[in-house]
Amino acid sequence: MGTVNGKLYYTGWGFPAMELFDNPDNIAHGEIIALAEADRPTIDCLESAHLYQRVEATVSTEVGTEFPVYCYIIEHLPPSAIRKDVCPS
């Protein structure tokens, strides 16, 4: 589990979306998954589909370590998107 400076959203499309921000007050929580370099093109194809862009971010882990990761962020939020932290669990 890790965090990046960002915001998570419910898109209404059946899957979430994330935006990254420089502001440390905006924290997005997520899973850290290690993938083989050879698998990156397949994941890029699955995640992109003209919705997401792979970008590098710095993740902070539960034990306080930080390292670079790739995140898939949404290029254009739908008008119906709702910030995840303001929705009931």
Element at 6 (helix H, strand E): strand 2-10
pLDDT at residue 86, rounded to an integer: 55
Give the range of the structural domain holding residue 71, as residue numbers without chain letter: 2-86
The structure's pTM equals 0.80
Question: What CATH code is carried by the domain that includes residue 6?
Answer: 3.10.490.10
Reported as a single tens digit per residue, the pLDDT across 55-66 is 999 999 999 999
Q: Tell whether the torsion through CA atoms of 20, 62, 32 and 10 is positive or negative.
A: negative
- Work out how many domains the chain is built from and give that number: 1
Q: Is 71 helix (H, G, I), strand (E, B) or coil?
A: strand
Report the C-alpha gap between 36 and 55 in whole angstroms. 17
Read off the pLDDT band of 89 (50, 70, 90): very low
